[in-house]
Each structure stands twice: as structure tokens, then as C-alpha cells.
Homo-oligomer: A and B are copies of this chain.
Amino acid sequence: MDDNEFGIREGEIAVELPKDFDASLYFIGRIRTPWKKRAECPKNARESDAVCTLEVNPRWAQALSGVESCTHLVVLYWMNRSRRDLVLQAPRHYEVGRGTFALRSPARPNPIAMSVVRLVGVEGTRVSVVGLDCLDGTPLLDIKPYFASTDAFSDAVVGWHAAREK
């Protein structure tokens, strides 16, 4: 393992995980990105205009019909290297611990990441997009059309984050 930043830090709190799982997922493909190590990934997706590719398993090819008409997509993917038991986290660039559900950290009970991406194009089962920041090879879970009417709230504020920037 070249990444040891997945460990626990001072100020972080882990809980015991449930004994059993409740539901299961299929990986529907893989995400190809330019980043092979976590240290290379952009801090957030707006920092990079790299074109990444959603490689969808051929089984689901027909499910892409109509995706080409979207300007933006919601992409769900699986952060398979993250620990799942942290409730308070202390990212290195923040000063205090924060609750997992107030963070977009990949470490969470269900490490499902959500990114909104701009569609570049669809060729067969390859969907080119801009706006991802994950490792190359990350398992893909879902692709959805992004509707401005229900998904865009440009006046939204994350209070703890806004206070930090002042």
C-alpha cells in the first residue's frame, strides 16, 4: 500500500460497524482518470479540467440511450479503499474534527461518492466527462441525468466551510 493516509488521526472517532450488510451492489464499469495515486488527485473536481472516461460494462450498453442528450450527469462511484467506521474526521487541511455526514470525505459508512460532471461525449460504452477527481480504476455504480430544476441550488451554503474561508 502506497497510501497510508487512510488511517485514523488524532481527533478522529471510529465506531463498531454493524455485523451484517443490508444490501449489495454491482460494479457497472470502471472510471479511467489520469491519477494513479491519491496524492495526485485534484483536491476537488473544479480544480481540474481533465477528461475522464466512464467505461460501462457492455451488459448495460442499452441503458446509455439518451445520455448523449444531457449536458451534465450525476456519477456515483465506489471509494473502495476507504474506511467505513469513522464518525468524526480531521482532514489534514482542516483544524477541527467534523462529522462524516458534514464532509464529502470518501471515508463514510457507505463509501459512495457523488460527482456532477459535464458531458463531453458518448462513444459506444465509453462516456467522456469533465469534473471527476478519483483514482484511475475506481468502480462505477450509476449514471443519472442532472436536472437543473431539482438538483441545482446555487445559493446553497455549507456554513462550517463558509466560516472557515472568512
**A→B interface (CB under 8 Å):** 13, 15-18, 21-28, 44-46, 56, 59-72, 74, 76, 78, 80, 84, 86-88, 97-104, 108-110, 112, 114-116, 118, 131, 139, 141-161, 163
Pairwise interchain contact A101-B156, C-beta atoms closer than 8 A: no
Main secondary structure of the interface of A (DSSP, over half): mixed
Pairwise interchain contact A63-B101, C-beta atoms closer than 8 A: yes
Copies of this chain per assembly: 2
> 12 additional contacts, CB 8 Å, given A26-B110, A64-B102, A115-B150?
A21-B25, A23-B80, A60-B101, A72-B156, A74-B114, A110-B142, A112-B141, A145-B161, A147-B161, A148-B154, A151-B152, A151-B153
Pairwise interchain contact A110-B59, C-beta atoms closer than 8 A: no
20 contacts between A and B (CB under 8 A): A21-B26, A22-B27, A23-B80, A24-B24, A56-B101, A60-B100, A62-B99, A64-B101, A65-B99, A66-B99, A67-B99, A70-B102, A70-B158, A72-B156, A76-B112, A112-B112, A148-B156, A152-B153, A152-B156, A154-B154
